[in-house]
Amino acid sequence: MDTLTGVDRPAEPDGFRDFVASRSPALLRSGWLLTGDWASAEDLVQTALAAAWTRWANLQRQDAPELYVRKIMINTFLRWRQRRWNGEIATGRLPELAAYGDVFAQVDARQALLAALDRLPARQRAVVVLRYFADQTETQTAAAMGCSVGAVKSHAAKALARLRDAPGLAELMTGGVAS
Partner 1 sequence: MNTEERQLTETLHRITPEPPRHVTVEDVALRLANQAGPGRQPRYRRRPYREPRLRRPSSRGWGRAWAPALAAASVFVVAGATAGIAVLASSHHGPASAGSAARDTTSGAPASSSPATTPTPASPAGTLTAIPGGPWGARLVDHLALMQYSLTGNGDSLYAFTAQDLVRIDPATGAIARSAPVSSAVPNAPVVLGSAVWVVSSYAGGRVILDGYDAQTLDHVLSATVPAAGQVSDAAQGVLAGGPDGYLYVAAGDSVAVVNPANGALVRRIQQPSGPASSVAVSPDGRRLYVSTFFQAGQKFQLLTYDLTEGIQVGSSSVSVGAGGNLVATSGGVWGTLGSGTSEWVWFAPGGDLSPASPVIRGAGGGFASLPALAGGAVWIGGTHTLACADAGTGSVLASGAIPADHGTAEYFGSVAYAGGHAYAYYIDNQSQTQGVAALTPPAACIK
101 binds partner 1 (CB under 8 A): no
Which 8-state DSSP code applies to residue 84?
Answer: S
Closest to 51 in 3D by CA, of 38, 62, 63, 67? 67
**Residues 121-140 within binding reach of partner 1 (CB under 8 A):** 128-129, 131-133, 135
Stretch that binds partner 1, among 59-67, 78-86, 119-127, 140-148 (CB under 8 A): 78-86
Q: How far is the CB of 64 from partner 1 (least distance, A)?
A: 18
Number of helical H runs and strand E runs in the chain: 9, 0
Q: Contacts with partner 1 in 9-48 (CB under 8 A)?
A: 9-10, 12, 16-17, 20-21, 24-25, 27-29, 32-33, 38-43, 45-47
Choice from 59, 72, 74, 113 touching partner 1 (CB under 8 A): 113
Eight-class DSSP state of 73: H
Interface residues for partner 1 in 154-173 (CB under 8 A)?
Answer: 156, 160, 163-164, 169, 172-173
- Cβ proximity to partner 1, 45 vs 143, nearer residue: 45
Contact residue for partner 1 among 60, 64, 81, 110 (CB under 8 A) = 110
Neighbours of 80 (CB within 10 A): 17
Q: What 3-state DSSP class applies to 34?
A: helix
Q: Give the C-alpha separation, 107 to 93, whole Å.
A: 13
Evaluate whether 150 touches 144 at the Cβ level (below 8 Å). Answer: no
Query: With CB under 8 A, what is the number of residues at the site for partner 1?
Result: 74
